Amino acid sequence: MSLIQHLINGEMVNDSGRSADVYNPSTGQVIHQVPLASRETIQQAIDSAKAAFPAWRNTPPAKRAQVMFRFKQLLEQNEARISQLISEEHGKTLEDAAGELKRGIENVEYACSAPEILKGEYSRNVGPNIDAWSDFQPLGVVAGITPFNFPAMVPLWMYPLAIVCGNCFILKPSERDPSSTLLIAQLLQEAGLPKGVLSVVHGDKGAVDALIEAPEVKALSFVGSTPIAEYIYSEATKRGKRVQALGGAKNHAVLMPDADLDNAVSALMGAAYGSCGERCMAISVAVCVGDQVADALIAKLVPQIKALKIGAGTSCGLDMGPLVSAQARDKVSGYIEDGVSSGAELVVDGRGLSVAGNEDGFFLGGCLFDRVTPEMRIYKEEIFGPVLCVVRVNSLEAAMQLINDHEYGNGTCIFTRDGEAARLFCDEIEVGMVGVNVPLPVPVAYHSFGGWKRSLFGDLHAYGPDGVRFYTRRKAITQRWPQRASHEASQFAFPSL
């Protein structure tokens, strides 16, 4: 059994203290151990970042971008190796892992445009012999805390952009599946990133608290559950840090009577059951406008859910792998039992699934509930598993009210052929990311990702233009060179043109 290590100041470092097991969820076996960083180890990473910052901030943006160009090439060359590690420790299929990596690479591509995105704004002659401009300067040492469900993509939302903006970055990835994250960081070192600009430290709440409390850390990015997002936002902002903390979700898909149902069903199958439902943008509620739509939807979904190909994620040609841990599987099973007890109709029950040759894996088949109501826990809470709930309403207005009343506002979508309905939905829905006949409206890298309400704590979304604003601070400079022959009297009124 191998020991995964920290990456600090360009070197592999181990803690002699606590550690955690890393499982292969397809087999249920422990395959690695990962150290849980002590406060001393976190401080070591902070010190190396602080020491590297002066030289890195003064490195021309074009040279920073050149590192990212090489990094992108290395990521593409190592796609199969990275995907294998993701699948072994997370459980998602190889195809899904490769797709995750590709979306992460898009953010590296955006970071390659550093010379353009870091251009300041310049105005000549704002007053007599006075010029003014703004400059976008790095914050210093910044940190990111990332979840288990996207060990490649979500870190790549954060540190490539933070680094090309001139910051030094400390990453605390999930301790459940750290190997791919660490390999990707090593590839960035191979691309020529100076020592100390990026460190990877593994850990649990103790490591998170150390980053929150460290005065040298100027900003924190987080993706995970809402309770932890709210905790990090509260604790870090009261210490004067800049924070973007992305939390949980309960994403609804509205199906109108005029929807292309066959295409909607295909989209829902991938959006609800892809990655075993362990996505913050997964569709977990189908809101059907009218009983006829609901009945037709369920009739088409049931055979496809029952036909899902489920097995070890590292096998080819599968639709779903296991959940990430036994605890995750048992938690989802508990929600299913609660839904049945609450009166929802369990149309497809995926519990008790056994995969031949992987009987000890953390598997759960696709599940489908009908006649779910807003009072039920399976409707209100994020299940984070392969469970789709069908809610029946009588109108688009009722569907929108349902969504707007929910505490989460991460993503949503509508399936319709009616442009007027789609426009109304996009305008009035209180959700941060909206799709029209697109089930997973995850913005491309040159836009920004983030929800509303209790799905996001902070003012700026992740990556894209908001990411640049988050990882830089604006400095406004006004400069005057008066003519030598002139002499002006003192002015005591507030200056104006």
Q: CATH number for 251-436: choose from 3.40.50.720, 3.40.50.800, 3.40.50.300, 3.40.309.10.
A: 3.40.309.10
Is residue 495 pLDDT above 80, yes or no?
no
Is residue 178 pLDDT above 80, yes or no?
yes
Confidence of residue 497 (pLDDT cuts 50, 70, 90): low
Share of the chain above pLDDT 90, in %: 92
Q: Please tell me the predicted confidence (pLDDT) of residue 362.
A: 97
The mean pLDDT of 89-103, rounded to a whole number, is: 97
Judge whether 69 and 187 are in contact, CB under 8 Å: no
Question: How many angstroms separate the first and last alpha carbons of the chain?
Answer: 72
Confidence of residue 10 (pLDDT cuts 50, 70, 90): very high
- Give me the architecture of the 2-247+455-477 domain, per CATH: 3-Layer(aba) Sandwich (3.40)
The pTM assigned to this predicted structure is 0.94
Distance of alpha carbon 197 from alpha carbon 157, whole angstroms: 16
Q: Please tell me the predicted confidence (pLDDT) of residue 155.
A: 98
Confidence of residue 142 (pLDDT cuts 50, 70, 90): very high
- Span 431-461, pLDDT tens digits: 999 999 999 999 999 999 999 999 999 999 9
Q: Please tell me the predicted confidence (pLDDT) of residue 224.
A: 96
- Span 323-343, pLDDT tens digits: 999 999 999 999 999 999 999
Is residue 486 pLDDT above 80, yes or no?
no
The helix-helix angle for 79-90 and 61-77 (nearest 10°) equals: 70
Q: Please tell me the predicted confidence (pLDDT) of residue 313.
A: 86
Q: Which residues make Cβ contacts (< 8 Å) with residue 264, sequence separation at least 6?
A: 253, 255, 297, 415, 437
The mean pLDDT of 313-319, rounded to a whole number, is: 90
- Span 160-172, pLDDT tens digits: 999 999 999 999 9
Share of the chain above pLDDT 70, in %: 99
Is residue 488 pLDDT above 80, yes or no?
no
Question: Which residue ranges make up each domain of the chain?
Answer: 2-247+455-477, 251-436
Is residue 398 pLDDT above 80, yes or no?
yes
Is residue 111 pLDDT above 70, yes or no?
yes
What's the chain's average pLDDT?
Answer: 96
Q: Please tell me the predicted confidence (pLDDT) of residue 476.
A: 94
Confidence of residue 321 (pLDDT cuts 50, 70, 90): very high
- Span 16-75, pLDDT tens digits: 789 999 999 999 999 999 999 999 999 999 999 999 999 999 999 999 999 999 999 999
Distance of alpha carbon 398 from alpha carbon 410, whole angstroms: 19
Distance of alpha carbon 184 from alpha carbon 168, whole angstroms: 16
Judge whether 374 and 398 are in contact, CB under 8 Å: no
Distance of alpha carbon 49 from alpha carbon 139, whole angstroms: 12
Is residue 389 pLDDT above 70, yes or no?
yes
- Span 145-162, pLDDT tens digits: 999 999 999 999 999 999
The two domains 2-247+455-477 and 251-436 share their CATH topology (first three levels equal): no
- Span 195-207, pLDDT tens digits: 999 999 999 999 9
The mean pLDDT of 180-188, rounded to a whole number, is: 98
Confidence of residue 376 (pLDDT cuts 50, 70, 90): very high
Confidence of residue 175 (pLDDT cuts 50, 70, 90): very high
Confidence of residue 129 (pLDDT cuts 50, 70, 90): confident
Judge whether 326 and 385 are in contact, CB under 8 Å: no
Is residue 406 pLDDT above 90, yes or no?
yes
Is residue 485 pLDDT above 70, yes or no?
no
Q: Which residues make Cβ contacts (< 8 Å) with residue 128, sequence separation at least 6?
A: none
Q: Please tell me the predicted confidence (pLDDT) of residue 468.
A: 96
Judge whether 143 and 169 are in contact, CB under 8 Å: yes
Q: What are phi and psi of 113, to 5 degrees?
A: -90, 20
Q: Please tell me the predicted confidence (pLDDT) of residue 166.
A: 98
C-alpha distances out from residue 388 to 65, 257, 265, 272, 274, Å: 42, 19, 12, 6, 12
Residues with catalytic function: 280
